Every structure is written in structure tokens, then in C-alpha cells.
């Protein structure tokens, strides 16, 4: 019977064959048609999305930053990879008072928003007040700073404390200047209670209200954002008429950038970028500083707060091994301040010294010191997972007789213990909020991150005095020397052990030019060129 | 998730026919109403579970969504908690949620500040398109291979198919996805890589949200081809597990029937095999297979999380993943509700199909 039944197979297998045929035919037929279809005036940027919003005053994530950099102008801006020298944008010049509390910006007069409305000081005041009063992620940037207009083309920023970081802060994309008339007409508010009454976010997620080189064509938080060149832009015209920023995971980016033209991949790890051929690959150190800390609060742990154990950890860590682990482009973090910022240390004052570390463990008088290390287990930054780095720390400390238990948990959970200051050892990173060393005073005793490591005010008075001075110093040379002293003290006496700055990779199609990584903006799409 | 879906497969299969027979003895309308009532109870239960679980997790939505600096600012934390109603006691939060739910409002997502209903209206068609295509492929291919394996029992074809189907059910979906992407997109360039359309192709006008269908409805043949080509890789990867499952189940269901007397009688009276297999054998084996197809939907739901992630497919799976990692309660609840509704509806359809396929049930 089976033999005769075979004849019947024709039907189901025919169906199968037909489906396979249709699929393959459609695939093959369309392949040719699609090739070269990517219009030459379209730039495609692959980014693993962390997009929450395109509203500049609510936005504080890398993807949102790339979008808003293209849509909105800021008072000052950074160009290329540089983040040390703010250059004119909307403001043609600025003057700082001697005490670094008052900054007066003179605005360019020929700027118009896309609807034809001229950009004036009222728009700057509205945007900055809205930023503060929305009480969102980026609001802290202007904490203690008031913005006032002095005539239609002059804006004055006044800070309650001396603030030499203001020029770097106003270059942030969250301080993008919106068309106040248009935003108000769509429910926007800069009033004190803007966090409750402002309804402009959905409008700003569908239409851009800026004067930047691009306008928003379409916006989808999970798939892609499309930007269209702004025909009335006052500055140099961007090379690409359309920019598409797509949500793509790193492994797929790797394939895309090798296949396409006019493609940029922003999330490749140094290891992934290693084997790339016929693609421009730029590897630079990221401004994210990965660090380990030992909690100084004896209530959290009498082991981690023991000064000898702190020193033992400092000298037991294999810093160059950690750099190797992170891959090409990574460097040893010389201090908590990243290498490209003012005041960064040229080299680290700490080197691995196993004998010294062992002696410190002995001097502590603690037998079999054991510590828990906590870290976000679900985060990979620049291709480096915290779990791998934690294992390296565990192995390093094991060599000097300190037992480390790995206690990784998802970031939504581990952030809580980190913020509460209850982690014995913590492995985290700090990314810059704005490119100025002021942002790193949080690592001193009694400050935000210091407290997370149980480092209360009064535990290192000499450092605290330096920090107070640095916060208000205005002279660049004096600031450099103050921040270097701070860095040295944290490295040699503090409970923080800066490990690495991982490598940041930007991979672009061979035909693209001028797409450097900027630690503040990631990528300025308007500057990308091609040949 | 997947293993539990698998283990529940077989015991349920054994009970199914009996249960349905008992049910279909009551009027159809009553059956539908009962199912609808069950759906509402289930939805309520799901909201309670999702709500309690999300609040029990030792995490803080404000910490997950605010930046490192903003989280230190009590005003920013208060503003966040107030905006999402997190400053109210839990029972009150739940009450408010239910009240809004009654009005069709699923709340606002904390991760992207959008209305959850809006997010779902974007994500559901994307997943539906992928799921339907994948189920279609799985049913055609899986059943064909299953019948083939059964009629060539213990021959070389059967052995090869056994290995193939075992591969389908045992290879991890994300791995197949990455291999498929590497081979068919990167190496051979037969098919496009990630996303629902090429970056430069605009989505068709919105009718159903299924790009292939919308493109056909508006006569955009180029967009249809593009959307379809994007569908092929993730759809087939997602179908791999179900192809294996269906092949194995169809084989055993067909084998059970094929040695029956009535099949032999049909053959004896001279009917050709091409009529006997589809009309007599497959027809009798179908009710059980339909149950497996119902379960295949469950596999598609769990599998879509990984496949959508690898292929950057903006569907329910990716949305669920992001919601979970940012403790985005309104979004988690929205996704859970949607998945619950799908399960109930699919089960309902399977039960109705029994009646259609098995004449004995209709008579009763």
C-alpha cells in the first residue's frame, strides 16, 4: 500500500514546493531591483535605540541627542570630536563676568525657524525656563541658573554660584532652542508648574519646532526616525537630503555597514569592528569611565571600609589586563575624569603591585576577607559586559587573598542598591552629562557618587577643600591643576578605582567622510560628507 | 518561557476532544458567552498578576527611567512619580488603572512617553504580519513533511525528516536567526536584513498596519515586494520550531489513522492514494493537528521576542522586552492583556474548528 500511496504525496509536496518557489522567486526577482536603490542623497545611521522623546527639553539619551542635534540650534556648539572648545552657533559671541556667575550671549540676527518666525532671545528664555520647570532628566543642567533677555538679541545667564561650565552646558542638545510661539500654541509651557501643564511633547515628537539643519519627517521610538534637510537653514547646507536613524542591534549593524553605502554603525564593539573590511573604522576611547568602588561605610561592611583593604584592592587590580579585556581603542582610565577633558591626569599614579597588596591584606588583620561585588548584569557598554569585568576583578583580588562573590542583577534592581549606598563593592560607569570636569566633583566625599560609596563628608578634608575651590575656579590653568590634584587624591587615597575607558567604534561606509565620534553628540549627521 | 509551553503540549492534546464534545452539546451562543466571560476574568487576573509582580520586583521605575543626575533631584523624582501616578498607594493605583481600562485607556508608557494604546496599535500589526506569515509557512511545510514522513515510515526520507524536525524544535531561535541573517542577507544577499522595509522605502498608507496587505490595497507593488522580502527571513526563522513540532505531530496522527480498517476499505474499493490520503486519512487526523496549530501560536508569541530583537522588528516582542527592562508598568500591563486576549481567542477558534472538522461533534 505504501508504495501506491507515494503517488498521493504529489499534493502536499507540491504545495510545499510551490511555497518555496514563490518565496525564492520573489526574493531573487526583487534583489536586483533593490540594489542601488538607496538613493545617494540618503544617509542611514544604525543605532541601538534608547529613544524616549524628540522634545529637546525632555531628552537626555544618546539617540535623542543625535536627533535633536540635527533639529535644533544651541547657543554654542562643539565641532568634530572636540569637546573642550565651545564655538559659536546661535550666539555669535559671549562674555563672562570675572566671578563666572554671569554670562552674556549675543545672538545671530538672521536665524528663522522653519515656519519663518525669527529666532530671538524670547525663544531662548522660553526654552531654558521650560527645561528647568519640566523637572525632567536634563533639568539639572541649569540648576541654580536663571535666564533673562536683554533686548531681542541678547541673553543673560546668571548662576547663583560661580559656574565656569556654562559654555559647555549651553552646547548640550537638551538646551536646543525651540520656536516658543509654535510650542506654546501646541500646549507648551515654561511656567513653574510646566511639569504638570506642558502638553507639547507629542507635538514635538511629530513636528520639529527648531531652526537646525534638518526637520523631523517621521518619528517612531521603536523603528526609525527620518530627518529631512531644512531648506531655509541659515548655516552651511548639509550633504544629505534625508537622514534615517534606524533601531538596529549591534550584530545586524555589523552586517548592514558592510553591505550598504551611506551607512554608519554606532554600536559595534571593538571586537566586532576588528574583522571589518572595506569600511572606515574609527576607534577612540569613550568618555565612559568604568570604575570599582569599596564602600567606606562600616555599617555596610567592616571589610570594604578598612583602609588597608582599600589599598590592597587598589594595588591588586590588573589595570592593563582590564584594558586588554575591553579590546582595541580602550585605555586605562587615569582617573575619574576622562582623558579628553580638561584636568584629566596624563598617567595614573597607581600601578599593580601584588606584593604591596598582599602586605596590606595582612596589615588589615582580617582573616579571609570576603566581599560581595554588585553590578548591572544586563548592561553592555561599548561591547563590554559588566559581568565579564566583574569576573576579572574577582580573579585579581583572589590572587591577594580577597574572596569576591559576584552579585550581578538587572540594572533596574542594582541601581537601587547603588543609589542607596549599600553595595560593598560596586562596579559601575559614569558617562559625562556635559563635557566639563565640574561634572566629576560628584566623586568627592559627601557628593552624589561619593555617598554611593559610603564616602561621607569629612572623611578626606584635604580633597573636599580642593573640590570647593575647583567648583568656583574660572582660570583654565588653575582649573587644570586643581582637577589634577583632585584626580591624584581620589586615585591614591580614595575608595574609587578607575579601571578603563572602553573603545568607542564608529564604522562608516567607505564613501563617507567626516563622521567623528563626539562624546556629547555621538554624531553630528549634518556634518557627514561623502565622495 | 518556551520549555513550559512545550511541556504543556501533550497532556492537553489527550484531553481536548473529550472536553470539546461535552461543551458543544450546549448551544453555540452559550458557549461563546462563557468564553467571553472567561476572557474578562482572565484579563482581570492578568492585570492583578502583572501589577503585583511589577511592584514586588525590587526596582524603582523612577530610577529606571530618570538619569543619574535627575534621580538625585527630589523635584524631578516627585514630578516623575506624580505624572505616572506612582505617588499613590498601590490599591488606589490599581483602581485608577481599572477605571481607565474601562474607558479604553491603557495609560502612558514611561519609557517613551507615548500612550500605550498608540504603541500597541503600532506594534500589534507588525507582530501579526510576522506571526500570520510564520504560521502559514509552518502549517504548509510542517504538515506536508509530516504526511511525507508517515507514508514513508522507517524509510530514508522518514529518518532525514526526523533529524530535520528535531533540529527545528531543539535549535535556539535566536541562534537560527543570527545564522539566517548571516547566510541569506550577508553572504548570499538574497534577502534584506533587519526592519520591516528598506530604510529608503516609505511605509504604505495605513489601512490594516500589515505592510504587505496595505501595499497591495494601495497598489504599491514595489513596496509590497519590499515588505514581503523583509518578512521572509524572520517569518521562516520563527516558523522553524513550529515546523518541527507540526512535522512530528502530523506524522504520528497520520500513522494512527492510516492503519484503520476504513482506510484499507477505501483502498480496497479502488480509490487512488491521492484521494485516500487527503480525504480519508488527513481529514481524520486533522482535529488533533489543529490543536497543535493553536499551540503553535503560543510558540510564535514567545519566539517573537527573540526574533524581533535580532531582526529589529518593531513588534510586540521588542516592546515587551523594553517594557520589562525599564519596569514600564503601563506597557507591561498592556502587553500582558494583549497576549491573554490572543490566547483566549486562539483557543476559542480551535474549539470552534473542532465542530467544523469533526462531524460527530456537530451532531451531538
User: What ipTM is given for this predicted complex?
Assistant: 0.73
Q: CB B195 to CB A223 under 8 A? A: yes
- Rounded to the nearest angstrom, the minimum Cα separation between A8 and chain B is 4
Task: Say whether B193 and A252 touch across the interface (CB within 8 A).
Answer: yes
B154 φ/ψ sector (left φ>0, alpha ψ -120 to 50, else beta): left
The pLDDT value given to residue B21: 47
B278 and chain A in contact, CB less than 8 A? yes
Give the residue from chain B lying closest to A244, CA to CA. Answer: B199
Give the pLDDT confidence score for residue B91 in this predicted structure: 87
Confidence band for A10, pLDDT divided at 50, 70 and 90: very low
Q: Cα B7 vs. chain centroid, distance in angstroms?
A: 17
Residue A247: phi and psi, rounded to 5, are -85, 105
Q: How confident is the model at residue A159 (pLDDT cuts 50, 70, 90)?
A: very high
Burial of A31 (0-12, 13-18, 19+ CB in 10 A): middle
- A89-96's contacts with Cβ under 8 Å and 24+ in sequence apart are A89/A171, A90/A119, A90/A124, A90/A177, A90/A211, A91/A155, A91/A170, A94/A167, A96/A164, A96/A166, A96/A167, A96/A474
The span from the CA of A245 to the CA of A227, in Å, is 8
Measure the CA–CA gap between B135 and A345, rounded to whole angstroms. Answer: 59
B283-310 and B173-180 helices, crossing angle to 10° = 70
Q: For A429-446, write each residue's pLDDT tens digit.
A: 998 888 899 999 999 999
Cα separation of A121 and A105, whole Å?
10
Contact flag B59-A19 (C-beta cutoff 8 Å): no
pLDDT in tens, A501-515: 998 899 999 999 999
Q: Cα(A243)–Cα(A44) distance, rounded to whole angstroms?
A: 6
Kindly state whether B306 is in contact with chain A, defined as any CB-CB distance less than 8 angstroms: no
Partnered with residue A405 across adjacent β-strands are A372
Residues in chain A: 531
Residue B12 has pLDDT above 50, yes or no: no
* Cell numbers representing residue A202 in the block: 507629542
Provide the shortest C-alpha distance from residue B27 to chain A (in Å): 36
Asked whether the predicted pLDDT for residue B307 surpasses 50, the reply is yes
Average pLDDT, chain B: 81
Asked if B62 is an interface residue toward chain A (Cβ–Cβ < 8 A), one would say: no
Can you read off the three cell numbers belonging to residue A522?
Answer: 555621538
* Rounded distance between C-alpha atoms, residue A25 and residue B67, angstroms: 50
Name the closest residue on chain A to residue B180, using Cα atoms.
Answer: A252
B272 lies within 8 A of chain A by CB = yes
Which residue of chain A comes nearest to B195, CA vs CA? A223
Greater confidence (A273 vs B352) lies with A273
Provide the pLDDT for residue B50.
Answer: 80
Map grid coordinates 571586537 to a residue.
A271
Least confident of A61-65, A194-198, B54-58: B54-58
**B178 and A251 in contact by Cβ < 8 A?**
yes
Residue B200 contacts A where some CB pair is shorter than 8 Å: yes
Query: Does the pLDDT value for residue B1 go beyond 50?
Result: no
Is A221–B114 a contact, with Cβ atoms under 8 angstroms apart?
yes
Cβ-defined contact of B232 to A6 (cutoff 8 Å): no
Chain B contact for A58 (CB, 8 A cutoff): yes
The pLDDT, as a whole number, for residue A8 is 42
pLDDT of residue B359: 65
SS3 A490: helix
A27, pLDDT greater than 80 = no
Min Cα distance A398 → chain B (Å) is 30
Say if the Cβ atoms of A244 and B58 lie within 8 Å: no
Distances from the Cα of B17 to the Cαs of B13, B245, B286, in angstroms?
Answer: 8, 20, 12
Which has the closest alpha carbon to A498: A373, A348, A391? A348
> Shortest Cα distance from A435 to chain B (angstroms)?
15
pLDDT of B105 above 50: yes
H or E segment to which residue B63 belongs: helix B61-65
Residue B85 Ramachandran class (φ > 0 left, ψ -120 to 50 alpha, else beta): left
User: What's the first-to-final CA gap in chain A, in angstroms?
Assistant: 70
Distance CA A60, CA B66 (A): 9
* Residue recorded with cell 580577597: A402
Rg (CA), chain B: 24
Model pLDDT, residue A91? 96
Q: Which residue has the higher pLDDT, A1 or A56?
A: A56
Contact: B185, A255; criterion CB under 8 Å: yes
Cβ distance B193 to A256 less than 8 Å, yes or no, reads: yes
Please tell me which of the candidates B79, B196, B312 has its beta carbon nearest to residue A195: B79
Q: What's the CA gap between B361 and B364, in Å, rounded?
A: 5
Among the partner-chain residues A30, A135, A252, the one whose CB lies closest to the CB of B194 is A252
Average pLDDT value over all residues in chain A = 89
Q: Residue A183 in contact with residue A209, Cβ under 8 Å?
A: yes
Give the mean model confidence (pLDDT) for residues B114-119.
87
The size of chain B, in residues, is 364
pLDDT of residue B31: 75
Chain A residues in contact with B53 by the CB 8 A cut-off are none
Q: Is the pLDDT of residue A306 over 90?
A: yes
Contact criterion met (CB < 8 Å) for A27 and B232: yes
Look at B151 and A232; give whichever has higher pLDDT: A232
* Residues of B (147-166) whose Cβ lies below 8 Å from A: 147-148, 151-153
**Residues in chain B closer than 8 A to A67 (CB atoms):** none
Name B225's Cβ contacts closer than 8 Å, sequence gap at least 6. Answer: A26, A29, A30, A33
**Do the Cβ atoms of B151 and A2 come within 8 Å?**
yes
Interface contacts (A, B; CB < 8 Å): 224
* Burial grade of A26 (CB within 10 A; 0-12, 13-18, 19 or more): middle
Q: How confident is the model at residue A34, as a pLDDT?
A: 43
Q: Select the residue of B70, B145, B194 nearest A137 (Cβ to Cβ).
A: B70
Question: Residue A245 in 3-state DSSP?
Answer: strand
pLDDT of res. A22:
52
Give the residue among A138, A65, A82, A87 at the shortest CA–CA distance from A342: A82
CA distance B150 to chain A (A): 10
Please enumerate in sequence order all residues whose Cβ is within 8 A of that of A417, keeping only pairs 6 or more positions apart, or say none: A374, A423
Chain B residues within an 8 Å CB radius of A37: 198, 200
Cell of A192: 513653574
Grid cell 522588528 is found at B313
Amino acid at each position: 500500500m505504501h508504495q501506491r500511496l507515494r503517488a498521493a504525496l504529489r499534493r502536499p509536496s507540491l504545495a510545499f514546493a510551490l511555497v518555496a518557489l514563490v518565496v525564492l522567486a520573489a526574493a531573487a526577482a526583487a534583489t536586483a531591483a533593490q540594489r542601488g536603490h538607496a538613493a545617494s542623497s540618503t544617509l542611514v545611521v544604525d543605532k541601538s535605540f534608547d529613544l524616549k522623546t524628540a522634545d529637546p527639553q525632555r531628552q537626555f539619551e544618546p539617540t535623542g541627542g543625535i536627533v535633536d542635534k540635527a533639529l535644533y540650534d544651541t547657543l554654542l556648539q562643539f565641532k568634530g570630536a572636540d569637546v573642550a572648545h565651545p564655538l559659536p552657533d546661535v550666539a555669535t559671541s559671549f562674555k563672562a563676568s570675572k566671578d563666572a556667575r554671569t554670562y552674556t550671549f549675543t545672538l545671530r540676527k538672521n536665524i528663522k525657524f522653519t515656519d519663518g518666525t525669527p529666532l530671538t532671545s524670547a525663544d531662548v528664555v522660553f526654552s531654558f525656563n521650560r527645561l528647568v520647570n519640566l523637572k525632567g532628566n536634563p533639568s539639572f543642567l541649569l540648576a541654580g541658573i536663571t535666564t533673562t533677555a536683554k533686548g531681542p538679541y541678547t541673553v543673560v545667564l546668571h548662576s547663583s554660584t560661580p559656574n565656569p561650565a556654562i559654555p559647555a552646558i549651553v552646547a548640550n542638545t537638551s538646551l536646543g532652542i525651540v520656536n516658543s510661539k509654535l510650542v506654546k500654541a501646541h500646549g507648551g509651557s515654561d511656567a513653574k508648574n510646566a511639569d504638570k501643564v506642558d502638553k507639547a511633547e507629542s507635538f514635538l515628537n511629530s513636528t520639529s519646532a527648531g531652526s537646525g539643519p534638518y526637520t523631523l519627517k517621521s518619528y517612531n521610538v521603536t523603528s526609525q526616525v527620518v530627518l529631512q534637510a531644512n531648506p531655509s537653514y541659515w548655516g552651511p547646507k548639509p550633504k544629505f537630503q534625508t537622514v534615517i536613524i534606524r533601531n538596529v542591534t549591534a550584530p545586524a549593524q555589523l552586517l548592514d555597514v558592510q553591505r550598504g553605502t551611506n551607512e554608519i554603525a554606532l554600536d559595534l564593539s571593538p571586537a566586532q569592528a576588528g574583522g571589518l573590511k572595506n569600511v572606515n573604522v574609527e576607534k577612540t576611547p569613550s568618555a565612559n569611565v568604568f570604575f570599582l568602588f569599596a564602600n567606606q561605610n562600616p555599617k555596610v561592611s567592616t571589610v570594604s571600609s578598612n583602609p588597608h583593604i582599600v589599598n590592597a584592592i587598589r594595588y591588586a587590580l590588573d589595570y592593563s589586563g582590564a584594558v586588554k579585556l575591553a579590546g582595541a581603542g580602550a585605555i586605562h582610565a587615569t582617573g575619574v575624569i576622562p582623558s579628553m577633558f580638561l584636568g584629566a591626569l596624563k598617567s595614573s599614579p597607581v600601578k599593580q603591585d601584588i606584593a604591596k597588596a598582599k602586605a596590606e591584606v595582612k596589615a588589615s588583620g582580617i582573616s579571609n576577607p570576603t566581599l560581595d561585588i554588585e553590578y548591572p548584569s544586563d548592561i553592555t557598554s561599548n561591547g563590554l559586559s559588566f559581568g565579564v569585568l566583574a569576573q576579572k576583578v574577582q580573579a585579581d583580588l583572589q590572587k591577594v587573598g580577597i574572596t569576591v562573590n559576584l552579585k550581578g542583577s538587572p540594572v533596574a534592581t542594582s541601581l537601587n542598591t547603588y543609589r542607596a549606598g549599600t553595595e560593598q563593592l560596586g562596579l559601575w560607569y559614569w558617562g559625562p552629562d556635559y563635557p566639563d570636569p565640574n561634572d566629576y566633583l560628584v566623586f568627592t566625599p559627601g557628593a552624589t557618587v561619593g555617598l554611593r560609596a559610603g564616602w561621607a563628608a569629612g572623611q578626606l578634608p584635604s580633597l573636599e577643600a580642593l573640590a570647593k575651590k575647583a567648583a568656583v575656579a574660572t582660570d583654565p590653568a588653575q582649573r587644570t591643576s586643581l582637577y589634577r590634584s583632585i584626580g591624584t587624591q581620589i586615585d591614591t587615597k580614595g575608595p574609587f578605582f578607575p579601571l578603563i575607558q572602553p573603545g568607542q567604534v564608529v564604522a562608516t561606509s567607505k564613501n563617507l567622510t567626516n563622521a567623528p565620534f563626539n562624546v556629547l553628540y555621538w554624531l553630528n549627521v549634518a556634518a557627514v560628507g561623502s565622495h | 518561557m518556551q520549555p513550559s509551553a512545550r511541556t504543556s503540549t501533550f497532556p492537553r492534546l489527550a484531553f481536548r476532544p473529550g472536553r470539546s464534545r461535552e461543551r458543544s452539546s450546549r448551544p453555540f451562543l452559550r458557549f461563546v458567552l462563557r468564553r467571553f466571560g472567561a476572557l474578562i476574568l482572565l484579563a482581570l487576573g492578568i492585570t492583578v498578576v502583572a501589577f503585583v509582580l511589577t511592584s514586588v520586583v525590587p526596582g524603582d521605575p523612577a530610577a529606571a527611567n530618570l538619569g543619574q543626575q535627575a534621580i538625585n533631584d527630589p523635584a524631578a523624582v516627585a514630578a516623575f512619580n506624580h505624572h505616572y501616578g506612582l505617588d499613590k498607594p498601590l490599591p488606589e493605583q490599581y483602581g485608577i488603572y481599572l477605571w481607565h481600562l474601562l474607558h479604553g485607556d491603557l495609560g502612558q508608557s514611561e519609557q517613551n512617553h507615548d500612550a500605550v494604546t498608540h504603541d500597541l496599535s503600532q506594534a500589534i500589526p507588525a507582530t501579526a504580519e510576522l506571526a500570520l506569515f510564520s504560521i502559514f509557512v509552518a502549517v504548509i511545510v510542517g504538515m506536508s513533511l509530516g504526511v511525507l514522513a508517515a507514508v514513508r515510515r522507517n524509510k530514508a526520507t522518514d529518518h532525514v525528516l526526523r533529524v530535520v524536525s528535531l533540529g527545528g524544535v531543539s535549535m535556539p531561535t535566536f541562534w537560527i536567526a543570527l545564522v539566517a541573517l548571516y547566510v541569506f542577507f550577508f553572504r548570499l544577499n538574497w534577502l534584506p536584513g533587519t526592519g520591516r522595509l528598506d530604510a529608503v522605502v516609505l511605509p504604505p498608507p495605513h489601512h490594516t498596519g500589515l505592510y504587505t496587505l496595505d501595499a497591495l490595497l494601495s497598489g504599491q507593488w514595489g513596496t509590497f515586494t519590499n515588505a514581503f522580502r523583509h518578512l521572509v527571513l524572520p517569518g521562516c526563522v520563527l516558523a522553524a520550531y513550529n515546523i518541527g513540532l507540526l512535522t512530528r505531530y502530523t506524522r504520528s496522527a497520520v500513522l494512527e489513522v492510516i492503519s484503520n480498517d476504513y482506510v484499507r476499505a477505501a483502498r480496497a474499493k479502488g480509490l487512488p492514494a491521492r484521494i485516500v490520503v487527503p480525504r480519508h486519512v488527513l481529514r481524520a487526523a486533522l482535529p488533533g493537528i489543529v490543536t497543535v496549530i493553536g499551540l503553535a501560536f503560543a510558540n510564535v508569541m514567545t519566539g517573537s521576542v527573540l526574533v524581533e530583537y535580532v531582526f529589529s522588528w518593531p513588534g510586540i516582542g521588542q516592546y515587551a522586552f523594553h517594557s520589562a527592562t525599564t519596569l514600564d508598568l503601563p506597557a507591561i500591563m498592556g502587553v500582558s492583556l494583549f497576549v491573554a486576549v490572543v490566547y483566549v481567542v486562539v483557543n476559542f477558534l480551535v474549539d470552534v474548528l473542532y465542530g467544523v472538522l469533526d462531524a460527530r461533534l456537530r451532531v451531538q
